[in-house]
Amino acid sequence: MCDGEIIQGRLVNRPVGLFQVERMNQMFQEGATEFIPDQFFYNARRYSGEDLHEVVVRECLPEIGPLRTQEEVKQWQRAPRKYDLCPVTRNIMRRYLDVTPPEKKLVGPPYHYFISFHGPDESLARMVYEHLRQAKAEAVFFSQETMGRSGSWGRQLDDALDAARCLIAVATQPGHLTEEWPEYEWRSYFNEMQSKLKPKGSLIPFVCGFPPEKMPRPLREQPAISVPCDRIEQGLEKLNHLLLILGQQRI
């Protein structure tokens, strides 16, 4: 991956960094003078942000060395802020944040249940949502109904995941569980369960149309609801029973 800069007629490779938007915005607003990306690419290889300086010294400097004077290289090496934003980038960031509307918070109280799904499974996820709502369950997070329509979607999801005591992963095809957002949601939740950050958390796959054995391994380890797609009501009854067993029944 190359940023396309041309120096002395030569196309020069550069690290290309990716930042978590909310984190970078917060750093900028707090006056940070060093910005290390969460991950970056160099020569078509992906690295963690913590490896940035090592890769710059090991690979970038030798590549651009012939195109810079020794004094320019030494000046960079002496610089106290090697990874600060340039004035143009700072101006763009400032203008962007000035016109960005305030973040809209989640609608409703802290959530006990979090329903995770891929777009094509919205109808099934809505059935689970309506079932819990009709049973007067504690607050249920279902993005189509409870997420604010402006502000940071990522932070809203993270806030709901932090609050949830039970995540229900809904799917009608195995591949839907590994789509970007659903996998981020259930895998983040699973990792926090494993690291004891959610010692009382429960992760429940609710699937129809395929056997649980086709789910990703972390989900196969969880108590699951699996029913034919024409027997969803039966699955919802099983869900009630499973929630009761897991101590997550709040209806």
pLDDT in tens, 193-212: 998 889 889 999 999 999 99
Examine the pLDDT at 43 and tell me if it is beyond 60. Answer: yes
Q: Which has more pLDDT, 8 or 82?
A: 82
Residue 70, token pair as written in the block: 């020794």
CA atoms within 13 A on the CB side of 34: 9
CA distance 205 to 224: 5
Q: For position 1, what pLDDT does the model report?
A: 40
Examine the pLDDT at 142 and tell me if it is beyond 50. Answer: yes
Q: For position 136, what pLDDT does the model report?
A: 66
User: Which of the 8 DSSP states describes residue 228?
Assistant: -
Mean pLDDT to the nearest integer, 115-135: 94
Local structure of 90: helix, strand or coil? helix
- Decide which of 3.30.830.10, 3.40.50.10140, 3.20.20.100, 3.40.50.300 is the CATH code for 113-245: 3.40.50.10140
φ and ψ of 71, to 5 deg = -65, -40
Q: For position 53, what pLDDT does the model report?
A: 92
Q: For position 153, what pLDDT does the model report?
A: 76
pLDDT in tens, 207-224: 999 999 999 999 999 999
User: Which of the 8 DSSP states describes residue 67?
Assistant: G
CA atoms within 13 A on the CB side of 30: 9
Q: For position 2, what pLDDT does the model report?
A: 42
Task: Give the mean pLDDT of the chain.
Answer: 87
Distance set, CA 65 to CA 58, 75, 124, 222 (Å) = 12, 13, 58, 54
- Domains of the chain by residue range: 5-99, 113-245
Q: For position 5, what pLDDT does the model report?
A: 67
Q: For position 215, what pLDDT does the model report?
A: 97
Examine the pLDDT at 164 and tell me if it is beyond 70. Answer: yes
Q: Give the total residue count for the chain.
A: 251
Mean pLDDT to the nearest integer, 53-74: 85
Q: pLDDT above 90 covers what percent of the chain?
A: 53
